[in-house]
Amino acid sequence: MKVALRDDDTCYFTSPETLERVYHDVWDRLPVCLATVPFAVGYERKGIPQEQWRSGEAFALERNPAIVPFLKDQIGRGRVTIALHGYTHQDYPHGYEFQAAPDPERRVREGLQYLTSTLNAPISLFVPPHNAISKRGMQAVAGAGLNLLGSFLSFRPSMRAWDAHTLGNWWRIRAYRGATGRTKRDPLVYPHVLRYARHAEFGCHSLVPGTTVEELVAGFEEARAEGGNFCGATHYWEVDQAIKDVLLRFLDHVDRVPGVKLVTAESLFG
Protein backbone atom coordinates (compact mmCIF):
# COMPACT_ATOMS: atom_id res chain seq x y z
CA MET A 1 0.00 0.00 0.00
CA LYS A 2 1.16 3.52 -0.82
CA VAL A 3 0.69 6.64 1.31
CA ALA A 4 1.43 10.14 -0.02
CA LEU A 5 0.97 13.75 1.07
CA ARG A 6 0.08 16.87 -0.86
CA ASP A 7 0.34 20.46 0.36
CA ASP A 8 -1.38 23.28 -1.54
CA ASP A 9 -0.68 26.95 -2.25
CA THR A 10 3.09 27.34 -2.40
CA CYS A 11 3.54 30.54 -4.44
CA TYR A 12 5.16 33.99 -4.44
CA PHE A 13 3.63 34.64 -0.99
CA THR A 14 5.31 31.58 0.59
CA SER A 15 8.41 31.91 2.72
CA PRO A 16 10.90 29.04 2.92
CA GLU A 17 10.83 29.40 6.72
CA THR A 18 7.15 28.51 6.86
CA LEU A 19 7.59 25.34 4.78
CA GLU A 20 10.66 24.47 6.82
CA ARG A 21 8.78 24.95 10.10
CA VAL A 22 5.91 22.72 9.00
CA TYR A 23 7.83 19.95 7.22
CA HIS A 24 11.37 19.81 8.65
CA ASP A 25 10.60 16.58 10.49
CA VAL A 26 8.21 15.18 7.87
CA TRP A 27 9.77 15.41 4.39
CA ASP A 28 12.66 13.04 5.05
CA ARG A 29 10.04 10.50 6.14
CA LEU A 30 7.53 11.22 3.45
CA PRO A 31 8.15 13.47 0.41
CA VAL A 32 5.60 16.29 0.18
CA CYS A 33 3.94 17.14 -3.14
CA LEU A 34 3.80 20.95 -3.18
CA ALA A 35 0.91 22.06 -5.37
CA THR A 36 2.41 25.34 -6.55
CA VAL A 37 0.84 28.44 -8.12
CA PRO A 38 3.05 29.93 -10.87
CA PHE A 39 1.56 33.48 -11.04
CA ALA A 40 -0.32 34.00 -7.78
CA VAL A 41 -3.02 36.66 -7.48
CA GLY A 42 -3.87 37.49 -3.88
CA TYR A 43 -7.15 36.65 -2.19
CA GLU A 44 -8.36 36.79 1.37
CA ARG A 45 -6.45 34.23 3.39
CA LYS A 46 -3.87 33.94 6.12
CA GLY A 47 -0.32 34.44 4.82
CA ILE A 48 -1.24 36.84 2.00
CA PRO A 49 -0.74 40.54 2.87
CA GLN A 50 -4.05 42.35 3.11
CA GLU A 51 -3.09 44.91 0.44
CA GLN A 52 -2.97 42.04 -2.09
CA TRP A 53 -6.38 40.57 -1.27
CA ARG A 54 -8.07 42.66 -3.92
CA SER A 55 -5.21 44.18 -5.95
CA GLY A 56 -5.57 41.72 -8.82
CA GLU A 57 -1.81 41.83 -9.39
CA ALA A 58 -0.21 38.57 -10.52
CA PHE A 59 3.11 37.68 -8.89
CA ALA A 60 5.43 35.30 -10.72
CA LEU A 61 6.98 32.77 -8.34
CA GLU A 62 10.52 34.02 -9.03
CA ARG A 63 9.71 37.55 -7.84
CA ASN A 64 10.20 36.02 -4.40
CA PRO A 65 13.99 35.66 -4.51
CA ALA A 66 14.11 33.17 -1.63
CA ILE A 67 11.54 30.59 -2.68
CA VAL A 68 12.91 29.41 -6.05
CA PRO A 69 16.40 28.34 -4.87
CA PHE A 70 14.84 26.87 -1.74
CA LEU A 71 12.42 24.72 -3.74
CA LYS A 72 15.13 23.61 -6.18
CA ASP A 73 17.26 22.53 -3.25
CA GLN A 74 14.43 20.55 -1.62
CA ILE A 75 13.51 18.94 -4.96
CA GLY A 76 17.16 17.90 -5.35
CA ARG A 77 17.11 16.31 -1.89
CA GLY A 78 13.97 14.33 -2.75
CA ARG A 79 11.97 16.06 -0.03
CA VAL A 80 9.40 17.69 -2.27
CA THR A 81 7.85 17.23 -5.69
CA ILE A 82 5.93 19.91 -7.59
CA ALA A 83 2.38 19.83 -8.94
CA LEU A 84 0.68 22.62 -10.89
CA HIS A 85 -1.98 24.35 -8.76
CA GLY A 86 -3.85 26.59 -11.17
CA TYR A 87 -2.22 29.53 -12.88
CA THR A 88 -3.11 32.54 -10.71
CA HIS A 89 -5.45 30.81 -8.19
CA GLN A 90 -7.68 33.88 -8.52
CA ASP A 91 -11.37 33.77 -7.68
CA TYR A 92 -13.91 35.06 -10.21
CA PRO A 93 -17.29 36.51 -9.28
CA HIS A 94 -18.95 33.43 -10.79
CA GLY A 95 -16.54 30.69 -9.71
CA TYR A 96 -13.03 29.54 -8.92
CA GLU A 97 -10.20 29.77 -11.41
CA PHE A 98 -10.64 26.43 -13.18
CA GLN A 99 -14.39 26.79 -13.31
CA ALA A 100 -14.58 30.38 -14.43
CA ALA A 101 -11.41 31.57 -16.20
CA PRO A 102 -12.04 32.14 -19.92
CA ASP A 103 -8.79 30.46 -20.98
CA PRO A 104 -8.00 27.32 -18.95
CA GLU A 105 -6.09 25.77 -21.88
CA ARG A 106 -3.59 28.65 -21.97
CA ARG A 107 -3.32 28.69 -18.19
CA VAL A 108 -2.41 25.01 -17.96
CA ARG A 109 0.02 25.21 -20.88
CA GLU A 110 1.84 28.35 -19.75
CA GLY A 111 1.73 27.50 -16.05
CA LEU A 112 3.23 24.09 -16.72
CA GLN A 113 5.94 25.52 -18.95
CA TYR A 114 6.81 28.23 -16.43
CA LEU A 115 7.00 25.97 -13.37
CA THR A 116 8.90 23.25 -15.21
CA SER A 117 11.57 25.66 -16.43
CA THR A 118 11.75 27.86 -13.31
CA LEU A 119 12.11 24.93 -10.92
CA ASN A 120 13.71 22.52 -13.35
CA ALA A 121 11.29 19.87 -12.12
CA PRO A 122 9.25 17.21 -13.89
CA ILE A 123 5.54 17.94 -13.37
CA SER A 124 2.84 15.36 -14.01
CA LEU A 125 0.02 16.40 -11.64
CA PHE A 126 -2.56 19.16 -11.53
CA VAL A 127 -4.41 20.17 -8.36
CA PRO A 128 -7.44 22.41 -9.06
CA PRO A 129 -7.63 25.58 -6.91
CA HIS A 130 -10.30 25.01 -4.24
CA ASN A 131 -10.59 21.47 -5.69
CA ALA A 132 -13.06 22.93 -8.20
CA ILE A 133 -12.88 22.20 -11.92
CA SER A 134 -15.29 22.43 -14.85
CA LYS A 135 -15.63 19.98 -17.70
CA ARG A 136 -13.59 22.32 -19.92
CA GLY A 137 -10.96 22.81 -17.19
CA MET A 138 -10.60 19.05 -16.93
CA GLN A 139 -10.16 18.74 -20.68
CA ALA A 140 -7.46 21.42 -20.58
CA VAL A 141 -5.59 19.49 -17.87
CA ALA A 142 -5.90 16.19 -19.73
CA GLY A 143 -4.87 17.87 -22.99
CA ALA A 144 -1.63 19.02 -21.35
CA GLY A 145 -0.87 15.42 -20.36
CA LEU A 146 -1.39 15.92 -16.62
CA ASN A 147 -3.17 13.72 -14.11
CA LEU A 148 -5.54 15.15 -11.51
CA LEU A 149 -5.02 15.03 -7.78
CA GLY A 150 -8.19 16.34 -6.19
CA SER A 151 -10.52 16.13 -3.24
CA PHE A 152 -14.22 15.46 -3.70
CA LEU A 153 -14.25 15.93 -7.48
CA SER A 154 -17.60 15.10 -9.02
CA PHE A 155 -17.87 11.72 -10.76
CA ARG A 156 -21.10 12.61 -12.55
CA PRO A 157 -20.83 11.95 -16.29
CA SER A 158 -22.50 15.35 -16.90
CA MET A 159 -19.51 17.06 -15.25
CA ARG A 160 -17.08 15.36 -17.60
CA ALA A 161 -16.06 14.99 -21.19
CA TRP A 162 -17.44 11.70 -22.43
CA ASP A 163 -14.95 8.94 -23.13
CA ALA A 164 -14.90 5.15 -23.12
CA HIS A 165 -14.14 5.07 -19.37
CA THR A 166 -16.62 7.65 -18.06
CA LEU A 167 -19.60 5.37 -17.56
CA GLY A 168 -17.54 2.48 -16.16
CA ASN A 169 -15.91 4.77 -13.61
CA TRP A 170 -19.26 6.20 -12.57
CA TRP A 171 -20.57 2.66 -11.99
CA ARG A 172 -17.42 1.79 -10.08
CA ILE A 173 -18.09 4.71 -7.69
CA ARG A 174 -21.76 3.77 -7.35
CA ALA A 175 -20.85 0.21 -6.48
CA TYR A 176 -18.26 1.41 -3.97
CA ARG A 177 -20.83 3.71 -2.33
CA GLY A 178 -23.23 0.82 -2.04
CA ALA A 179 -20.64 -1.61 -0.71
CA THR A 180 -19.53 0.85 1.98
CA GLY A 181 -23.09 1.79 3.00
CA ARG A 182 -22.85 5.37 1.75
CA THR A 183 -25.58 7.47 0.23
CA LYS A 184 -24.90 10.08 -2.45
CA ARG A 185 -24.60 12.73 0.26
CA ASP A 186 -21.95 10.95 2.33
CA PRO A 187 -18.38 12.05 1.73
CA LEU A 188 -16.39 9.57 -0.29
CA VAL A 189 -12.73 9.30 -1.13
CA TYR A 190 -12.31 6.49 -3.62
CA PRO A 191 -9.05 4.70 -2.78
CA HIS A 192 -8.02 3.71 -6.33
CA VAL A 193 -6.80 5.66 -9.32
CA LEU A 194 -9.60 6.25 -11.83
CA ARG A 195 -8.30 6.11 -15.38
CA TYR A 196 -9.96 8.03 -18.17
CA ALA A 197 -8.99 8.11 -21.86
CA ARG A 198 -6.42 10.90 -21.56
CA HIS A 199 -5.79 11.32 -17.84
CA ALA A 200 -6.14 9.65 -14.44
CA GLU A 201 -7.48 10.92 -11.11
CA PHE A 202 -6.90 10.25 -7.46
CA GLY A 203 -8.76 11.75 -4.49
CA CYS A 204 -7.17 12.99 -1.26
CA HIS A 205 -8.19 13.05 2.39
CA SER A 206 -8.26 16.61 3.76
CA LEU A 207 -6.20 17.56 6.77
CA VAL A 208 -7.64 20.92 7.82
CA PRO A 209 -8.50 22.60 11.13
CA GLY A 210 -10.81 20.22 12.97
CA THR A 211 -9.65 17.02 11.23
CA THR A 212 -8.93 14.35 13.85
CA VAL A 213 -6.33 11.62 13.74
CA GLU A 214 -9.19 9.12 14.07
CA GLU A 215 -10.74 10.41 10.83
CA LEU A 216 -7.47 10.10 8.93
CA VAL A 217 -6.79 6.65 10.34
CA ALA A 218 -10.34 5.55 9.41
CA GLY A 219 -9.74 6.74 5.82
CA PHE A 220 -6.40 4.97 5.70
CA GLU A 221 -7.79 1.74 7.13
CA GLU A 222 -10.71 1.76 4.71
CA ALA A 223 -8.30 2.23 1.78
CA ARG A 224 -6.10 -0.56 3.13
CA ALA A 225 -9.04 -2.94 3.50
CA GLU A 226 -9.97 -2.20 -0.12
CA GLY A 227 -6.46 -2.85 -1.41
CA GLY A 228 -6.17 0.84 -2.27
CA ASN A 229 -3.85 3.75 -1.53
CA PHE A 230 -4.05 6.96 0.51
CA CYS A 231 -3.11 10.59 -0.02
CA GLY A 232 -3.53 13.38 2.55
CA ALA A 233 -4.00 17.02 1.53
CA THR A 234 -3.27 20.09 3.60
CA HIS A 235 -2.22 23.77 3.41
CA TYR A 236 1.06 24.77 5.05
CA TRP A 237 -0.37 28.21 5.91
CA GLU A 238 -2.98 26.77 8.25
CA VAL A 239 -0.83 24.05 9.80
CA ASP A 240 -0.56 24.96 13.49
CA GLN A 241 0.64 22.73 16.31
CA ALA A 242 -2.72 20.95 16.54
CA ILE A 243 -2.76 20.01 12.82
CA LYS A 244 0.90 19.08 12.93
CA ASP A 245 0.24 16.74 15.87
CA VAL A 246 -2.55 15.06 13.93
CA LEU A 247 -0.19 14.57 10.98
CA LEU A 248 2.60 13.12 13.11
CA ARG A 249 0.27 10.80 15.02
CA PHE A 250 -1.21 9.65 11.72
CA LEU A 251 2.27 8.92 10.32
CA ASP A 252 3.12 7.00 13.49
CA HIS A 253 0.03 4.85 12.92
CA VAL A 254 1.01 4.26 9.29
CA ASP A 255 4.58 3.33 10.30
CA ARG A 256 3.28 0.53 12.50
CA VAL A 257 1.46 -1.12 9.59
CA PRO A 258 3.61 -3.63 7.71
CA GLY A 259 3.87 -3.30 3.94
CA VAL A 260 3.06 0.41 3.72
CA LYS A 261 5.33 2.59 1.59
CA LEU A 262 5.53 6.36 2.03
CA VAL A 263 5.83 7.67 -1.52
CA THR A 264 5.56 10.77 -3.70
CA ALA A 265 2.05 11.67 -4.85
CA GLU A 266 3.24 11.05 -8.42
CA SER A 267 3.93 7.39 -7.57
CA LEU A 268 0.25 6.85 -6.74
CA PHE A 269 -0.34 6.85 -10.50
CA GLY A 270 2.49 4.44 -11.34
By CB under 5 A, tell whether 97 contacts Zn ion.
Answer: no
Nearer to Zn ion, 186 or 240 (CB): 240
**Residue 73, helix vs strand vs coil:** helix
Q: Which stretch of DSSP H or E encloses residue 115?
A: helix 104-119
The interface region with Zn ion, picked from 6-14, 97-105, 131-139, 258-266 by CB under 5 A, is: 6-14
User: Cβ closer to Zn ion: 8 or 266?
Assistant: 8
Work out whether 7 is an interface residue with Zn ion (CB under 5 A): no
User: 199 in helix, strand or coil?
Assistant: coil
Q: CA-to-CA distance for 87 and 133, rounded, in angstroms?
A: 13
Question: How many binding residues for Zn ion (CB under 5 A)?
Answer: 3
Question: In whole angstroms, what is the distance from residue 231 CA to residue 202 CA?
Answer: 8
The SS3 call for residue 248 is: helix
Task: Select 48 or 251, whichever has its Cβ closest to Zn ion.
Answer: 48
Whether residue 224 contacts residue 257, with contact meaning beta carbons closer than 8 Å, is answered with yes
Nearest distance from residue 116's CB to Zn ion, in Å?
Answer: 19
Task: State yes or no: residue 9 binds Zn ion (CB under 5 A).
Answer: yes
Q: Is 244 left (phi over 0), alpha (psi -120 to 50) or beta?
A: alpha
Binding mask 98-137 for Zn ion (x = CB under 5 A): -------------------------------x--------
Of 1, 3, 4, 8, the one binding Zn ion (CB under 5 A) is 8
Instruction: Give the 3-state secondary structure of residue 10.
Output: strand
Residues that bind Zn ion (CB under 5 A): 8-9, 129
